[in-house]
Amino acid sequence: MEPVFQNETIKGILSRYRRIWAINHAQSVLGWDMEVNMPKEGILERSVAQGELSVLSQEFILKPDFIELVEKAKGLELNEYERGVVRVLDREIRISKAFPPEFLREVSEVTSQATKAWEEAKKGDDFSKFEPWLDKIIDLAKRAADYLGYEDEPYDALLDLYEEGLRTKEVVGMFDELERELRPLIEKIMEEGKVPREHPLEKEKYEKEQMERVNLWILQKFGFPLGVRSRLDVSAHPFTTEFGIRDVRITTRYEGYDFRRTILSTVHEFGHALYELQQDERFMFSPIAGGVSLGIHESQSRFWENIIGRSKEFAGLIYPVLKENLPFMANYTPEDVYLYFNLVRPDLIRTEADVVTYNLHILLRFKLERMMLNEGVKARDLPELWNEEMERLLGIRPKTYAEGILQDIHWAHGTVGYFPTYSIGTLLAAQYYYHIKRDLNVEELIAQGNFEPIKAWLREKIHRWGSIYPPKELLKKAIGEELDPEYFIRWVKERYL
Ligand code: MG
């Protein structure tokens, strides 16, 4: 294959970019190590090291001669790959320029203390410990939006950080449709009872080694290049990290009961990893290597988790290996596994939520975040707003802060505007399903454990483009249309009614 970067100015940009790439690479290694290996008290020195590396990378991005080269490249005649490089770097420069260094320092100080306060508050179920920090976070988020600039409302600026080009009014439209459709659907699903609310498999206990064997078996079936270009490790919160195209690592967790959690986490992270592993190797060391946005990334993980991992055929495929490793499986059938993977019941905790109610948890957070940014809502008012909204949407009301306002770590980390990308991923996954079905018999392939055609489809349509195109353009190219919640609603109806 011929090289994708031909233009001399672009080559000059990329040779300088290598240093920034190397810093990012080192940061990924440090981040992975922090979650997987680091002893608890290492956090102090590690966060300082991470912070300094961020500053270093920002210094390189903002070097006047580097910016000048990127500016110069904007006026040149370039191929689509080269234009992608310019688009990604131009955006990075714009974002880096927007925030003064003293603001970034303040963010990092406030969020590290807020995270500590959040942990204590959650542990003792005492919101007052977190409340002053949450007010500071809201203030920082508002200032961040002002530094970045926006057209319609402050929330737009933050949303765009996580999902390039996405605007609040689109998210409002998306959630309006979801709320209108999902609330009656959830009631109907509960009434019809095609999928149960509970299953005895939730209570069955396992040994870590047993489920590790099952996870490795599944990953092998998927063709995950374990030990060659990837690893599976354990961490408190499962995640994926890419050091590059040839070293992509995932983690899972083992609670010792309710085994679908470890399986579906592993399958979810595999979806993230595959996106990175199937990049075009000619993009190596460049800013267009890697997934383009959080929403598109999440669409990959949700596709594997929801469409493949929760299918009847997948339950059938893994049933023998479950039976081989878990003695209690002798009492259950493949149909049990399928139902257990697809339970629907309103739950207070987002991370425990089923596929159908999940988006309403995100809607709640989106609504509150928008109120914080646009309407001057203070931390003090948020627990009550949370509980009311939860009751309105899912008919259940938290009795503690820990199962309400304090459940997620995101705000303590200063992350506001991120939640909607979870829903975007969930919706897109269902949308891909109806598109891929036109080309492949997905169910039959899953039943056979033949995942290569599905992987090839995803590579061809999405993965191989890396970050060349912004998310919306990528979707147009991949499936010929924009995000459309209609597909997800259809999928829910077909599966759960
Ligand atoms: Mg994910």
What was the pLDDT predicted at 418?
A: 98
Quote the CA–CA distance of 152 and 146 in Å, as a whole number. 12
From the CB of residue 450, how many other CB atoms can be counted at a distance below 10 Å?
11
DSSP-derived 3-state class of residue 471: helix
Check pLDDT > 90 for residue 308.
yes
- Mean residue pLDDT of the chain comes to 96
Please give the distance, rounded to the nearest whole angstrom, from the Cα atom of residue 403 to the centre of ligand 1: 21
DSSP-derived 3-state class of residue 247: strand
Which tens digit of pLDDT belongs to each residue from 409-431?
999 999 999 999 999 999 999 99
Please give the distance, rounded to the nearest whole angstrom, from the Cα atom of residue 381 to the centre of ligand 1: 30
Q: Which residues surround ligand 1, an ion (CB under 5 A)?
A: 301
Exposure string of 143-176, with b = 16+ CB inside 10 Å and e = fewer, is ebbeebebeeebbbbbbbbbbbebbbebbeebbe
Domain ranges of the chain: 8-98, 127-199+267-497
**What is the percentage of the chain residues whose pLDDT exceeds 70?**
100
Sign of CA dihedral 441, 442, 448, 453: positive
What was the pLDDT predicted at 317?
A: 98
Please give the distance, rounded to the nearest whole angstrom, from the Cα atom of residue 301 to the centre of ligand 1: 6
What was the pLDDT predicted at 105?
A: 83
What is the residue-wise DSSP string for 26-49?
HHHHHHHHHHHT--GGGHHHHHHH
Quote the CA–CA distance of 456 and 464 in Å, as a whole number. 10
Which tens digit of pLDDT belongs to each residue from 3-27?
999 999 999 999 999 999 999 999 9
CA distances from 461 to 8, 279, 479 (A): 29, 12, 7
Band of pLDDT at residue 47, cut at 50, 70 and 90: confident
Please give the distance, rounded to the nearest whole angstrom, from the Cα atom of residue 251 to the centre of ligand 1: 11
The correct CATH number of 127-199+267-497 out of 1.10.1370.30, 1.10.10.60, 3.10.180.10, 2.60.120.10 is 1.10.1370.30
DSSP letter for 7, please. Answer: -
List CB contacts of 471: < 8 A, sequence separation 6 or more.
Answer: 163, 164, 165, 166, 292, 293, 295, 296
Please give the distance, rounded to the nearest whole angstrom, from the Cα atom of residue 169 to the centre of ligand 1: 24
Catalytic-labelled residue, pool 163, 181, 212, 269: 269
Check pLDDT > 90 for residue 280.
yes
**Which amino acid, one-letter code, is at 437?**
K
Q: 192: which 2 tokens?
A: 């019809």
Please give the distance, rounded to the nearest whole angstrom, from the Cα atom of residue 1 to the centre of ligand 1: 32
The phi and psi torsions of 230 (rounded to 5 degrees) equal: -160, 165
Strands 247-252 and 240-244: antiparallel
Please give the distance, rounded to the nearest whole angstrom, from the Cα atom of residue 252 to the centre of ligand 1: 12
Say if residue 314 is exposed, middle or buried (CB neighbours under 10 Å; 0-12, 13-18, 19+): buried
Which tens digit of pLDDT belongs to each residue from 54-97?
889 999 999 999 999 999 999 999 999 999 999 999 999 999 99
Please give the distance, rounded to the nearest whole angstrom, from the Cα atom of residue 302 to the centre of ligand 1: 7
Please calculate the CA angle 381-384-385 and round it to the nearest 5 degrees.
80
What was the pLDDT predicted at 241?
A: 97
Place of tokens 């933050």: 158
Please give the distance, rounded to the nearest whole angstrom, from the Cα atom of residue 305 to the centre of ligand 1: 10
What was the pLDDT predicted at 338?
A: 98
Q: 434: which 2 tokens?
A: 């109806």
Which tens digit of pLDDT belongs to each residue from 354-383?
999 999 999 999 999 999 999 999 999 999
What was the pLDDT predicted at 492?
A: 97
Check pLDDT > 90 for residue 50.
no
What was the pLDDT predicted at 404?
A: 98
Please give the distance, rounded to the nearest whole angstrom, from the Cα atom of residue 41 to the centre of ligand 1: 27
269 counts as catalytic:
yes
What was the pLDDT predicted at 112?
A: 86
What was the pLDDT predicted at 101?
A: 83
What was the pLDDT predicted at 43?
A: 85
Please give the distance, rounded to the nearest whole angstrom, from the Cα atom of residue 85 to the centre of ligand 1: 25
Please give the distance, rounded to the nearest whole angstrom, from the Cα atom of residue 268 to the centre of ligand 1: 7
Please give the distance, rounded to the nearest whole angstrom, from the Cα atom of residue 210 to the centre of ligand 1: 24
Mean per-residue pLDDT, 440-447: 98
Please give the distance, rounded to the nearest whole angstrom, from the Cα atom of residue 272 to the centre of ligand 1: 7
Quote the CA–CA distance of 272 and 298 in Å, as a whole number. 7
What was the pLDDT predicted at 399?
A: 97
Which tens digit of pLDDT belongs to each residue from 282-307?
999 999 999 999 999 999 999 999 99
Please give the distance, rounded to the nearest whole angstrom, from the Cα atom of residue 484 to the centre of ligand 1: 20
Please give the distance, rounded to the nearest whole angstrom, from the Cα atom of residue 95 to the centre of ligand 1: 24
